[in-house]
Structures are given as C-alpha cells and as structure tokens.
C-alpha cells in the first residue's frame, strides 16, 4: 500500500453519491475539498466522524472547503446514513475499493486477532489545483475536522 504525500497530485475519481449522481474530484477544481474515508456507514466511529464534518460545514465553507465522504457502502446505504443523520454533503460509494486503493487507505486491519482487508480511516485536504495539501492516515474519528481547521 503506497500513501499519498503532501504536494502530490490527488488521484481523480468518479463515484456515485447517496442519490446515485456521479461525483468527481475534478468537479471541485478551483476550490479546496476535504476527502475522508470511513469504513462503514452508520457505525459508531463513522457516525462520529461524519457528524463532526456535518457540524463544521459552515466553518469549512467560510474557508472555501467542500466535504466528501467515501466508504465501500452502496449508494442506498449511504442514503440511509445521510437521511438518519441529516449529513447534507456527498457520501460516495467506492464498492470495489478502487479509489481507496489509489489513496492508500485500503489495507490490512486487525480486530480480535483476525486480519482482514478494509478501509484505514483517513482524511485528505485537496487544494484548488488538485494537489494533496495534507494527508492524515489512521486518523481517529474525532480528529478529522480539527486537523483540517488547524491547517487552514
């Protein structure tokens, strides 16, 4: 698994959001975007992370930053997650983990002694030119928003 570094071109992607609409990173050209990866919609850590992003949308927007969440969940599960917590920003379905792999967040995890492949919770601030302004791998659910706001 190779990780993205500051200053590197962020891999572009096109994935369906919670309503089935195709969303691409290139749609955000000319503005900053927070892209964060979470393992599974509507689980405790992922809910904490996503609700923190929701609660900070105004602060992010004031700084010219949009937000996108990505997980392996299908669009219908993303839609239920969005509706349940009134998230209000794109939640993208990376069902085959191609984007997660390109960002270096698909890898081995261990739980209760079992090794398996999954999303390594991570977040990225992508700048107006599509470059990685910062990458936070293995981020805790509550650290995504503070990390971005501290950088801005």
User: One of 10, 15, 25, 46 is an active-site residue; which one?
Assistant: 46
Helix axes 44-55, 144-151, angle to 10 degrees: 30
Rounded to an integer, what distance in angstroms lies between the CA atom of residue 91 and that of residue 69?
5
51 in catalytic set: no
Phi, psi angle pair for 18, to nearest 5° = -65, -15
Count of Cβ atoms closer than 10 Å to residue 30 Cβ = 9
Q: What count of other Cβ atoms lies within 10 Å of the Cβ of residue 115?
A: 8
CA 129 to chain centre: 18
Known catalytic residues? 46
């Amino acid at each position: 698994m190779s990780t993205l570094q500051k200053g590197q071109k962020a891999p572009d992607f096109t994935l369906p959001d919670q309503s089935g609409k195709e969303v691409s990173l290139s749609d955000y050209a000319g503005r900053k975007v927070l892209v964060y990866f979470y393992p599974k919609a509507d689980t405790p850590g992922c809910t904490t992370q996503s609700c923190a992003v929701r609660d900070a949308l105004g602060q992010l927007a004031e700084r010219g930053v949009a937000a996108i969440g990505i997980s392996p969940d299908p669009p219908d599960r993303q839609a239920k997650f969005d509706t349940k917590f009134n998230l209000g920003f794109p939640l993208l379905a990376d069902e085959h983990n191609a984007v997660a792999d390109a960002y270096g967040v698909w890898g081995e995890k261990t739980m209760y002694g079992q090794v398996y492949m999954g999303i390594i919770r991570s977040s990225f601030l992508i700048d107006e030119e599509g470059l990685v302004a910062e990458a936070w791998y293995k981020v805790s659910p509550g650290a995504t928003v503070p990390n971005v706001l501290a950088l801005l």
